[in-house]
Amino acid sequence: MIIQTSSGKVKGVQLKDTYVFRGIPYAAPPVSELRFKPPVPPLSWEGIRECDSFGPIAHQRHDPNTFLPELMHSEDCLNLNVWTPGTQGSPRPVIVYIHGGGFIGGKGAECDGARYATEDDFVYVSINYRLGALGFLYLGELLGEEYSTSGNNGMLDIFAALRWVQTNITAFGGDPHRVTVIGNSAGAKCTATLYTMKEAEGLFHRAIAQSGATQSIRDIHTAGVTTTRLLEALDLQPSEVGKLLSVPAELLIEAQMKVGPDTSRNLHMFGPVADGILIPVDPLASIQEAANLPPLLIGTNEDEAAMFILYDPGLQKPDPGTIERLFGQNQLIVWESFIQYSQIMPIDKAWSKILTEHLYTIGCLQLADAIADTGSPVWVYRLQYGGSLGAAHGYEGSLIHYMKNPEREIKVDTTDPYYVADEGRELAQSMRAAWNAFIREGDPNAALLPEWPVYGDSHSMMVLDLVSAAKEDPSPPNGVACSHQVWRAEG
């Protein structure tokens, strides 16, 4: 199949029941004089561009254990992938997938868009965007107005991809008026951040945020702390900040890993910036003043923190220093929550619970409240069913993408925290049906789940379990008043 795009013709690959176009540029390479600057339109090409392989992904730390570890890392990473059932018939709903990875890792190639195209008759788009320092390093106060939005380059890349979709997706059989943005973890945080940015208006019509909200938006002070630490890691003085424009990208990635004293701190040092230009200084307040916001499906899992605790030695024991590092000025509220929970449950459970609540649950509810206050519809879920670590971070993805192949036996690791046992099959099917209903109609109510009311004034949410149920006025987490509107660091 050959498609004419705004930049030139592209040729895809025919799979069994669908077509895939891999590595289509949606913006020009952000290299040389464009480093740390907003994306610009892609360069046009003559002839037909073969789109049979995934394009380069954003620079990040190489991990041989990830999916497709052989993919090239490059600053020239602003490309996307499109799966389509074809161009015949009525325009189809469009999904735009924003990958997660803590703002320092991940790739658009990690998803299976073919299944959505084949089974659900959707057009599926996955994107790459700039990560880490190249995507979220705030340089406005050091390099001037030309770089005033550099802390949000990753978000600007997502804008550019969504604009490309609006311009080109009709040619792939998609409906530009039914675009759903979906993300998990950092991808969910990017998705949620779109609600704070006026420039995103009209670029998407529904959104699904799985385990992430606006809690990773940081103020300029916090963004400046990250910039200072990165310069120190590169042995540069603030007066030498201009050298960042020519430092090899590989050295920037090495320096990123030195920004914090451990992995978890590094994970939390990058993200969108409330620069007062693209993102208001008070993001949630700006949402409450908006109108006609796209419907949102958002939720968190009961045991979000379990996976981080398992793999991060710095999180494995209750520690006031860890709380201070993660929550800054809110540390006392979080520690008090831990003390209260530790009186009614084992210490390790209390520790996991407060990390889950204050890293994920509270941010989710705050965003849901802000959007619901505008009158726009919001549906909230809380996943309780899970694997060996419970409903760990990202487990909803295992359920939504669950697929049992009856044709042949596949050896699986049943101890994998993301393994879905046969008992979870019905829940998996019902969640996928609800997600697909939301993508099609903007409402997740589907036959396989109980009636799912909007969040609204009653604060109703769907508790997803082997027996799911909608619950009204659920007990708020301890310390729900804790303000995570903007991520702030101390010192």
Closest C-alpha to 325, from 113, 102, 139, 487: 487
Name the 3-class secondary structure at 140: helix
Show the CA angle centred on residue 397, arms to residues 391 and 399, nearest 5°. 75
Please name the residues in contact with 276: beta carbons below 8 A apart, sequence gap of 6 or more. 220
> Tokens standing for 100?
């997660």
For CA atoms 4, 5, 6, 8, the dihedral sign is: negative
The residue annotated as part of the active site, out of 185, 211, 264, 337, is 185
How far apart, in Å, do the first and last CA atoms of the chain sit?
55
> Tokens standing for 444?
């997740």
Q: CA–CA separation, 132 vs 244, rounded Å?
A: 14
Name the 3-class secondary structure at 103: coil
Is 458 considered catalytic here? no
Helix ranges (DSSP H) in 194-282: 220-233, 249-256, 263-267
For CA atoms 412, 414, 416, 419, the dihedral sign is: positive
Greatest CA separation found in the chain?
69
Which residues are known to be catalytic?
Answer: 185
